[in-house]
Homo-oligomer: A and B are copies of this chain.
Amino acid sequence: MDSSGIRDALTEKGLRVTPQRIAIYEAILKLNNHPTADDIAAHIKLDHPNIATGTVYKVLESLVENGLIKKVKTEKDVMRYDAILENHNHLYCAESDRIADYYNEEINNLLTDYFRQHEIPDFKIADIKLQIIGKFLNETE
């Protein structure tokens, strides 16, 4: 997504288009290992030296609320952010704290079908997340 796509996305959600919002959204798209708020702040401070930390958090919150990005949680107590909205799961390595996206429609369908056929009593499923924890081999990053 380019800068004008970002503007459009913000406008469409009824959010004011501000340089900070554009910069933060761009940063999430660019920084690909599911950045933390801090990663994002550090990255955009090059172009926006005066951006306040609180602004970063507030913008992230409103982007999440408006479904433009997602929050990703790890074992650590820091939230991370993901601009990919397409249904996908995560591979997570606790050792390196690296998160990789894992696309596999088959497993999504398998789970969706399974729970369509086996409803859970007194519980309405909104989302199913599969977190695959392990270790990356042949680290190339």
Task: Please report A residues at the B interface, Cβ cutoff 8 Å.
Answer: 71, 73-75, 77, 79, 91, 100, 102, 104, 106-107, 110-111, 114-115, 118, 120, 122-138
Contacts and interface: CB of A to CB of B under 8 A. Distances in A.
Q: Report copies per complex.
A: 2
A75 B131 CA distance: 13
Nearest to A139: B122
B123 A135 contact: yes
A23 to B, nearest CB: 24
Given A123-B134, A126-B133, A126-B134, 20 more contacts: A71-B75, A73-B75, A77-B77, A91-B120, A100-B123, A102-B120, A104-B118, A107-B114, A110-B114, A111-B130, A123-B136, A123-B137, A124-B135, A125-B134, A127-B134, A128-B130, A128-B133, A129-B133, A130-B131, A131-B131
B124 A138 contact: no
Nearest to A138: B122
Contacts of A126: 133-135
Contact of A129 (B71, B77, B130, B136): B130
Contact of A124 (B73, B107, B115, B137): B137
Q: Which of A75, A132, A138 has the most CB of B within 10 A?
A: A132
